[in-house]
């Protein structure tokens, strides 16, 4: 049974070789005793969840400044993603806390490894012993020194000996942890998630500060867009949210946008959309018991994110709006997305937040925006909230959810291929024999097309065409969007074995009754 209470003395559950010794972040160790114990208990629970999520059993032994964890090596990458861990090391050997034993075990473990190299011995000690840390470093250093060079400033290998009461542990590497605060150490918030680089990185940065998150997705692009956003959200939930069960709330925002475009002048539509999104997130936060809204906004990145416009947007929310990316540039955000594992997923997501056809306002006043939205039918927003879908991200089976996919990775034999990009892009390159019907034209005219034919659609990244394919399927057509958009289709065209697929792509066969 795992004991969550820190202990000063060693017991029968000391680490064995290949176990881990974990160090807490300074933000935990500098807290008062009660807060520190509360954070550490939470961290222990999260470590157990991380290990079990990797399919391994674990044993956790917390002490005042260390946590010892016994688990299979398959769980080590998950442990590295638990917030609150500053660094950790794989224990390579152990022995009783006797100076002669320490020298003997250290020499047998590291003697061959330090030969011909520069090395250092580092020792830490807690408890009462007949020797001190300097004795360990001197004696073990002398035992290892034959054929090697002591270099305390720039060693090739550092031999660490950690002595605690009646045992000594050996390790040679310090691996970086996720740092930050244990998840849930702070209150809850909701994150407005679009699936793009910004909102995913913003979510991760707040998780790292101990804020547990649920996600609000205002869907402007249909089921295909929703599936891609769910992939991003599930990646964050499964890799970085140990100890919590985050949910994603998905709202059909197309009726809301239609209402916004009816009421707002084009120059104010982007600001109006953000205000409605904030209002939606605040209403859902009240239901979830969350205290703030998290967004991926950075000052000046787009027109709606000027300081003046952010001021005009902020008063639509009765709770604080947190912007962890506020001072970052796009390159920094993308670099961080690579580090946390969301880059490849976010790169596939085309955001639909640009709804204005006119030149957007860059310095709107709160008074002017309030005047614009006086005629807004609030019932449309209430309907969107009441009909929202809820997804348990850590329990979500995305393959099952996709089910009857609109995507294809082949060009079905005899299909009509439709290029939905603008004409100038079509002229640059298109699939041989493809017809050009831009997105807007196809959206308004597909119901006049032959229902007995099979259609393959493609666009820049595959999302707009997927939206039309969904609508066509709902209307009884057999229609698909090429997975990955025009880039993937060009690779397919250049493949040496390119031939039209003999079989239809997997997916739903529409009912033509």
Buried b (16+ CB within 10 A) or exposed e, 366-390: beebeebbeebeeebbeebbeebee
Find the DSSP H helices in 352-432: 366-372, 378-386, 398-402, 423-428
Ramachandran sector of residue 480 (left: φ over 0; alpha: ψ -120 to 50; beta: rest): beta
Question: d(Cα 397, Cα 395) in Å, to the nearest integer?
Answer: 7
Question: d(Cα 4, Cα 185) in Å, to the nearest integer?
Answer: 17
In the sheet with 389-392, reading across from the earlier edge strand, the strands are 321-322, 293-294, 188-192, 212-219, 247-252, 389-392
Ramachandran sector of residue 404 (left: φ over 0; alpha: ψ -120 to 50; beta: rest): beta
Phi, psi of 86 (to 5 degrees): -80, -50
- Contact between 386 and 405 under an 8 Å Cβ cutoff? The reply is no
58, 95, 191, 459: which one is catalytic? 459
| Residue carrying the six token digits 């939470």 | 42
Catalytic-residue membership of 459: yes
| Residue 412 per-residue DSSP state | B
Helices 330-340 and 197-208: crossing angle, nearest 10°? 70
Active site residues: 459
């Amino acid at each position: 049974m795992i004991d969550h209470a820190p202990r000063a003395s060693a017991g029968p559950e000391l680490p064995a070789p290949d176990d881990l010794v974990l160090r807490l972040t300074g933000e935990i160790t500098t807290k008062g005793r009660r807060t520190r114990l509360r954070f550490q208990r939470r961290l222990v629970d999260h470590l157990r969840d991380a290990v079990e999520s990797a399919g391994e059993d674990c044993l956790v032994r917390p002490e005042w400044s260390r946590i010892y964890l016994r688990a299979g090596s398959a769980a080590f990458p998950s442990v590295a993603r638990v917030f609150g861990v500053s660094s950790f090391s794989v224990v390579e050997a152990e022995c009783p806390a006797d100076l002669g034993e320490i020298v003997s075990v250290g020499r047998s473990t590291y003697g061959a490894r330090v030969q011909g190299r520069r090395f250092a011995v580092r020792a830490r000690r807690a408890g009462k012993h007949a020797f001190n840390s300097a004795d360990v470093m001197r004696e073990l250093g002398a035992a290892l020194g034959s054929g090697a060079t002591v270099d305390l400033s720039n060693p090739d290998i550092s031999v660490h000996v950690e002595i605690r009461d009646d045992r000594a542990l050996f390790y040679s590497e310090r691996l970086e942890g996720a740092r930050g605060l244990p998840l849930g150490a702070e209150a809850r918030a909701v994150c407005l998630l679009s699936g793009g680089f910004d909102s995913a990185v913003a979510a991760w940065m707040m998780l790292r500060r101990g804020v547990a998150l649920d996600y609000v997705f205002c869907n402007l692009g249909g089921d295909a867009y929703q599936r891609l956003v769910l992939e991003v959200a599930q990646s964050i939930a499964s890799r970085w949210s140990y100890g919590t069960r985050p949910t994603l709330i998905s709202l059909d925002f197309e009726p809301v946008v239609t209402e916004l475009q009816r009421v707002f002048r084009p120059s104010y539509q982007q600001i109006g959309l953000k205000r409605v999104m904030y209002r939606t997130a605040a209403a859902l936060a009240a239901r979830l018991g969350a205290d703030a809204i998290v967004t991926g906004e950075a000052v000046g990145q787009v027109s709606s994110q000027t300081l003046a416009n952010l001021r005009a947007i902020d008063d639509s929310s009765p709770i604080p709006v947190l912007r962890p990316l506020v001072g970052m540039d796009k390159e920094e955000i993308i670099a961080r997305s690579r580090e946390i594992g969301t880059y490849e997923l976010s790169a596939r997501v085309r955001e639909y937040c640009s709804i204005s056809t006119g030149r957007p306002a860059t310095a709107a006043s709160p008074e002017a925006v309030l005047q614009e939205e006086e005629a807004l039918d609030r019932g449309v927003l209430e309907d969107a909230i009441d009909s929202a879908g809820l997804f348990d991200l850590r329990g979500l089976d995305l393959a099952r959810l996709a089910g009857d996919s609109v995507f294809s990775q082949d060009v079905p034999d005899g299909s009509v291929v439709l290029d939905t990009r603008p004409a100038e892009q079509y002229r640059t390159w298109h699939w041989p024999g493809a017809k050009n019907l831009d997105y807007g034209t196809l959206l308004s005219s597909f119901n006049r097309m032959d229902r007995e034919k099979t259609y393959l659609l493609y666009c820049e990244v595959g999302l707009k065409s997927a939206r039309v394919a969904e609508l066509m399927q709902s209307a009884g057509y057999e229609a698909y969007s090429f997975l990955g958009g025009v880039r993937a289709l060009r690779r397919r065209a250049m493949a040496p074995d390119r031939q039209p697929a003999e079989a239809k792509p997997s997916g739903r066969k529409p009912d033509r009754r």
